[in-house]
Structure 1
């Protein structure tokens, strides 16, 4: 019997097995987060539903049908056998005969489009300001004091003032729907970038003192090359987590503006507008509040769970807990 040596151990090891990659480790951690998997699955489902739902359910969400108004959802028969129901409107209709299912699909498309577009604008502004403030010392004081100034402003009154001032010019130039879309996305993006900027700045301040960044600077790499080649890839984790939270914030903000009546036109369906229309008869038809409310709540909850899973998976300090 000979004692095993290091060489023999290497021979017995299966060298054909490729080493585990970083993204494989990230997926392994993410796949063990049940809330994140459920949140991501529901987000994909609701996104596909609002994008392609009108191909299956082809009723016009704006069509008025007074003869079929105030129809209750099918499930209301469980506690109210005398409810006026119709299989042509499984989720019911409002006081003008507009189909609720068609409105939820069309309203979800609007809310999700505003959420994604505003989130991308928020990430662009916040990441740019955070990188500039963290890497260039002479810009740090100016940009951070500006960030503190914007953080101190009351966001909702600022949104209402901006919508009131710029609504008519944008409507005249781009049309009522497109103009309001540009305005709401721009206002949400401009007023929601501050947290992302602070997070990115903090990570950039720590990364720019690391050895690989100092070596790149000593080798003559330009500031632009260091930022795009070495710094930005290492701050993708907080940016992605902040993006998920920004998506949830944008959906809630758009719903709040539509609920207050300062968003899209009154005949343009959104989840917030459906809530506003349902409030006057909420006691008589509570399901009209529950349907868009559940759509907003479940979508935001799924995005938050997805963000928690991404944070746990992308942060190497807590990966594996």
Structure 2
């Protein structure tokens, strides 16, 4: 030690300066570091990026019209079927084959994926907005909690598929006239119906978290200094329910894709000449014995997309919720 207390403090400070200090990390970097440890989530993210780029950029790379009829080249097999069946009718001009009307399967897969992802994202965002808004209002304002939760219970008790079929039957024509095209009207109708019938789990989860968070010290302190309810909700409550909201978003996207595919499979979705994965699956089932690959192509696309979204939701949950880290 040195001769004076002041010299001791200087010496201690010098030693402290020599210790390497880890740079501070942002919350976004911390979330990303946790997210990339989840291998399934990373694989899911990679596949979603791939399928999104494929359906967005695909029409510029593969310029074949998905609705073009080519009867001369109908019922062509994918080129890989030639590996085990040398007599298969294949062509590099239609690498995934063609359907019973000669329409190119690759072009239909690209167009169908664009429809499924567009419907999924739009329905998920609308459902998330409705569910989060109702959950926050019910959890924060006690006077409307009972009414909103009983409304949520009512929607949960409704049979979803019959309701979807009834709504499509009743509102298909009015929305077609409103949008100016059958595809536009059906898009608005399907997105709205899926959102209206899928917001309830998000509302219940968000309400439960809001009920717990609104009694925390930082919320009570903000309320005591006169902070308005709107600012409390925006600055203190919503950031702290981000984890369940993101998980609900991932699950909602998967549910919306499956629901749209199911409606198209049942023949009550988009027009019959408009390609979607569900419509391709419905057409392929009829001739599954002769052309099994036609069922596999849209089926695998739907399954992998939904599986990737579910893994992505698991990764977001682990990254956003500190309680799940280190498991």
When normalised by structure 2's length, the TM-score is: 0.95
Query: Match for residue 33 of structure 1?
Result: 38
Query: Match for residue 289 of structure 2?
Result: 283
* Aligned residue runs from structure 1 range 137-148, under 5 A: 137-148=142-153
Equivalent of 2:263 in 250, 257, 266: 257
Matched, 1:156 2:175: no
Query: Match for residue 315 of structure 1?
Result: 321
Query: Match for residue 123 of structure 1?
Result: 128
Equivalent of 1:62 in 67, 87, 105: 67
User: Residues 22 and 173 from structure 1, CA distance in 2 versus in 1: closer, same or farther, beyond 3 angstroms?
Assistant: closer
How far has the Cα of 1:256 moved from its partner? Answer: 0.2
How far has the Cα of 1:10 moved from its partner? Answer: 2.2
* Aligned residue runs from structure 1 range 297-308, under 5 A: 297-308=303-314
When normalised by structure 1's length, the TM-score is: 0.97
Q: 1:154-213, CA deviations, whole angstroms, 9 ceiling, x for partnerless residues? A: 100110011111001111221201000000000000000001001110110111000000
Q: Is the 8 A contact 1:29 1:320 kept in 2?
A: no
- How many matched pairs? 320
Q: 1:52-104, CA deviations, whole angstroms, 9 ceiling, x for partnerless residues? A: 10100000000000000000001111221110001100000001000000000
What is the CA–CA distance in structure 1 between the aligned matches of 2:300 and 2:12, rounded to whole Å? Answer: 61
User: Residues 320 and 20 from structure 1, CA distance in 2 versus in 1: closer, same or farther, beyond 3 angstroms?
Assistant: farther
What is the CA–CA distance in structure 2 between the aligned matches of 1:168 and 1:242, rounded to whole Å? Answer: 32
What is the CA–CA distance in structure 1 between the aligned matches of 2:14 and 2:321, rounded to whole Å? Answer: 37
How far has the Cα of 1:319 moved from its partner? Answer: 1.5
Equivalent of 2:83 in 64, 78, 85: 78
Q: Find the residue that maps to 2:322 and give its secondary structure.
A: coil
Matched, 1:171 2:176: yes
Higher deviation after alignment, 296-305 or 21-30 = 21-30
- Stretches (4+) displaced over 3 A: 1-9
Q: Is the 8 A contact 1:70 1:92 kept in 2?
A: yes
Structure 1: gaps (5+ residues): none
What is the CA–CA distance in structure 1 between the aligned matches of 2:183 and 2:324, rounded to whole Å? Answer: 45
How far has the Cα of 1:312 moved from its partner? Answer: 0.6
What is the CA–CA distance in structure 1 between the aligned matches of 2:12 and 2:115, rounded to whole Å? Answer: 63
Equivalent of 2:209 in 197, 203, 223: 203
What is the CA–CA distance in structure 2 between the aligned matches of 1:67 and 1:6, rounded to whole Å? Answer: 87
What is the CA–CA distance in structure 2 between the aligned matches of 1:139 and 1:188, rounded to whole Å? Answer: 25
* Aligned residue runs from structure 1 range 176-187, under 5 A: 176-187=182-193
How far has the Cα of 1:23 moved from its partner? Answer: 2.2
Structure 2: gaps (5+ residues): 3-7
What is the CA–CA distance in structure 2 between the aligned matches of 1:267 and 1:27, rounded to whole Å? Answer: 42
Q: 1:277-297, CA deviations, whole angstroms, 9 ceiling, x for partnerless residues? A: 111111110001000000000
